[in-house]
Amino acid sequence: MSETEETITRAPVRPDSPTFADLGVRAETVEALAAAGITRAFAIQEYALPIALRGTDLIGQAPTGTGKTLGFGVPLLQRVFAPGEGSDGVPQALVIVPTRELGLQVAKDIATAGKTRGVRVLPIYGGVAYEPQVEALRAGVEILVSTPGRLMDLAKQKKLRLDRVHALVLDEADRMLDLGFLDDVEKILAMLPEDRQTMLFSATMPDPIVTLARRFLRHPVTIHAGHTAETGPSPLTKQLAYRTHPMNKVEVVARILQSHARGLTMIFTRTKRAADRVAEDLDFRGFATAAVHGDLGQGARERALRAFRAGKIDVLVATDVAARGLDVSGVTHVINYDCPEDPDTYTHRIGRTGRAGASGVAVTFVDWEDMPRWRLIDKSLGLEMPEPPETYHTSPCLYTDLDIPSDVGGTLPTAERTRAGLAAEVEEDLNPKTRGRRRAEGAGRSRSPRRRASGDGGGGGTAAHAGAPARAGEGPTPRAPPTAPGGGAGGGGPPPRPTPRRPRRPMRLPPRRAFAVAGAPARWWPATRQRSHPPPSRSTPHPSRRPPTKPRRRSRAGVAAGGPPPPSALRTRGEAPSAGGSTRARRRGLRPQCAAGRTEVPWVN
């Protein structure tokens, strides 16, 4: 509530702006808004409320930070029944948002406006356990704020009823298109009753969003409300662009964070890895910093956002996932660490500052390779900065444009480090039941039988590993005999039973067969290379595969030196080859054959 009051008191509301009571809002809702410090409507609310309260389909095109949430939240509260008015707990209104952070923010604002009547608003999103959300649905809810993925999961599991929804809101529809949720949105729209009111709000209207509106909206009324007709940035935001070198960006950011009258600051990067790197560099330099991107869990993201809203940290490094729906009061500076991809991304990034009529500063770093993209953004939005000046952390224009003291350095002085930091914020356990079940399952698992034995108090030593080899020069360690119960130096019970060791399987070798000739040594051959029948008894060599070991070749020098001569040297002309085969056949890996007139020895295993 304090954040809303601070935002409204700083917002320059026109004196002739109508009040919510003048626009036909229920007295209970007007009372709840007045308790939060909201009495008069902004431009988008002034135009949208009279049309939406009549039940007409609506298309609202307005930039971020102009109060679109109450523009559709108040009509939803007007159409639903509170628990004391006959509600049975089935959802009556549905709001679809692209991100979890935006869903939490929308649910908080609508719950604030319906606090007097006791309207129950439930945000559901992925990344957390199903059980708490299912229990909340069973307890009853009137307005449901959900992301497309978790909504479809609960609907497929029959945990959610959508047949009573008579009011639907698509918030940030262009962002859903960018994230690839458009197909899921069409499936959700097919689940809802046809007799309903549909309101679509978006900062930009690309062609797929226009096609979606023509298909599912019935005679909608389009409202353009914002800063300009093209929904450009707020005129109260001071926009600056510098051409910087990638290796000097952190030094420039460190100087900007020490400028006068700087409040909360958001830094946008293009990748998740860059967000982590920048956050670590700034934290090393003494700034209270945290990172928010898609790789973090839901608990870590909410922890960083709570610390940022509470002022425990004053620098939030984020990707484009946090560029929508983060309505944080007190954001004075936005730094585009990487050049945005298109004009829409640029508009949504710098829309985090200058919200609700407040002023702000937006600084964009443009690299040399990003110049063509920046020229398109500048031409599309009319920024009149097609050629940003080349700037480093020592450039005088940086200090004069952003009111930075000339004596600051690259690190924050110790005396100025007054923030509590991210460590002061406790991360909530968003999945208590699942984690408890995992612990119980882990405790019930049996340990592996192969573990290292440890000596006890009565063993008198330390037991060695069952399979460990003995040290050099030592014999195998004998196993200590079992101690009688109650014995031992320690006075305890019997020693622990040794862990049984699984016997090692012997290595099986293929069986070998022998083929021998009477009067000749047998030659061994693997069975895998042996035929099923013995070779024919012929004088010619029988071709076969090479044996596993090649016979060693002897040279003529060995014969001259007195060594045994080869068999071929002992044969005379016309004599049949010996039982072992010729030398050439042995070199080729051929089987030995029988000589003529000799008996064969049968095959043996």
pLDDT for the residue numbered 268: 95
Task: Enter the DSSP assignment of 325.
Answer: S
Say how many domains are in the chain: 2
4 has a pLDDT exceeding 80: no
**CA dist list (Å): 89 to 86, 140, 198:** 9, 4, 21
Within-domain flag for 380: yes
- 206 and 242 both lie in a single domain: no
- 276 and 407 both lie in a single domain: yes
pLDDT for the residue numbered 101: 82
More reliable by pLDDT, 207 or 545: 207
More reliable by pLDDT, 489 or 50: 50
Within-domain flag for 211: yes
Q: Which of 224, 256, 280 marks a domain boundary? A: 224
Q: Let me know: does 292 contact 316? Beta carbons within 8 Å.
A: yes
175 has a pLDDT exceeding 90: no
More reliable by pLDDT, 316 or 10: 316
- 165 and 106 both lie in a single domain: yes
Within-domain flag for 466: no
Within-domain flag for 383: yes
- 173 and 253 both lie in a single domain: no
Amino acid at 594: C
SS3 381: helix
577 has a pLDDT exceeding 80: no
Q: What are phi and psi of 114, to 5 degrees?
A: -105, 20
- 182 and 275 both lie in a single domain: no
**Rg (Cα) of the chain, in Å, rounded?**
41
The sign one gets for the Cα dihedral 36, 41, 44, 47 is positive
The tokens 């040290």 sit on which residue? 471
Q: Which positions ≥6 away from 500 have C-beta within 8 Å? A: 449
444 has a pLDDT exceeding 60: no
Q: Which positions ≥6 away from 569 have C-beta within 8 Å? A: 559
SS3 525: strand
More reliable by pLDDT, 580 or 108: 108
Q: Which of 369, 394, 424 marks a domain boundary? A: 424
Using alpha carbons, select from 204, 206, 207 the residue that is nearest to residue 226: 204
Q: Let me know: does 503 contact 579? Beta carbons within 8 Å.
A: no
Structure tokens at 567: 């068999």
25 vs 46: CA distance, rounded Å: 12
Domain containing 325 — which CATH number? 3.40.50.300
115 has a pLDDT exceeding 80: yes
More reliable by pLDDT, 520 or 196: 196
Within-domain flag for 42: yes
Rounded to 5 degrees, what angle do the CA atoms 179, 300, 436 make?
A: 110
410 vs 396: CA distance, rounded Å: 16
Using alpha carbons, select from 451, 479, 475, 483 the residue that is nearest to residue 465: 451
**CA dist list (Å): 101 to 123, 194, 306, 318:** 10, 29, 11, 12
Structure tokens at 381: 């939005």
Q: Over the stretch 451-506, which tens digit does the pLDDT of each residue have?
A: 443 444 444 444 444 444 444 444 444 444 444 444 444 445 566 666 666 666 66
Mean pLDDT for 428-443 is 51
Q: Which of 424, 441, 469 marks a domain boundary? A: 424
- 12 and 119 both lie in a single domain: yes
- Structural domain of 93: 2-224
Strands in 44-138 per DSSP E = 58-61, 93-96, 121-124
Share of the chain above pLDDT 90, in %: 42
- 370 and 247 both lie in a single domain: yes
- 218 and 243 both lie in a single domain: no
Q: Over the stretch 395-411, which tens digit does the pLDDT of each residue have?
A: 999 999 999 999 999 99
Amino acid at 108: K
Q: Where are the alpha helices (DSSP H) in 328-453?
A: 343-350, 371-381, 396-401, 432-444
pLDDT for the residue numbered 6: 38
Q: Over the stretch 473-487, which tens digit does the pLDDT of each residue have?
A: 444 444 444 444 444
Strand-pairing partners, residue 150, are none
Mean pLDDT for 360-380 is 94
Q: Let me know: does 276 contact 75? Beta carbons within 8 Å.
A: no
Q: Let me know: does 160 contact 137? Beta carbons within 8 Å.
A: yes
Q: Over the stretch 73-100, which tens digit does the pLDDT of each residue have?
A: 999 999 999 998 989 999 999 999 988 8
Within-domain flag for 365: yes
Listed range (146-160, 279-293, 362-376, 533-547) with the worst mean pLDDT = 533-547
pLDDT for the residue numbered 237: 86
> Hey, what's the torsion of the CAs at 387, 390, 395, 400, to 10 degrees?
20
Using alpha carbons, select from 265, 280, 274, 173 the residue that is nearest to residue 217: 173
pLDDT for the residue numbered 521: 52
pLDDT bracket for residue 432 (50, 70, 90)? low
More reliable by pLDDT, 177 or 109: 109
Using alpha carbons, select from 201, 194, 242 the residue that is nearest to residue 218: 194
Share of the chain above pLDDT 70, in %: 64
Angle between helices 182-191 and 148-156 (to 10 degrees): 40
Neighbours of 202 (CB within 10 A): 23
Within-domain flag for 57: yes
- 361 and 243 both lie in a single domain: yes
594 has a pLDDT exceeding 80: no
- 212 and 252 both lie in a single domain: no
Within-domain flag for 528: no
- 217 and 243 both lie in a single domain: no
Q: Over the stretch 249-292, which tens digit does the pLDDT of each residue have?
A: 999 999 999 999 899 999 999 999 999 999 999 999 999 999 99
- 377 and 282 both lie in a single domain: yes
Q: Which positions ≥6 away from 356 have C-beta within 8 Å? A: 7, 8, 10, 11, 42, 65, 66, 67
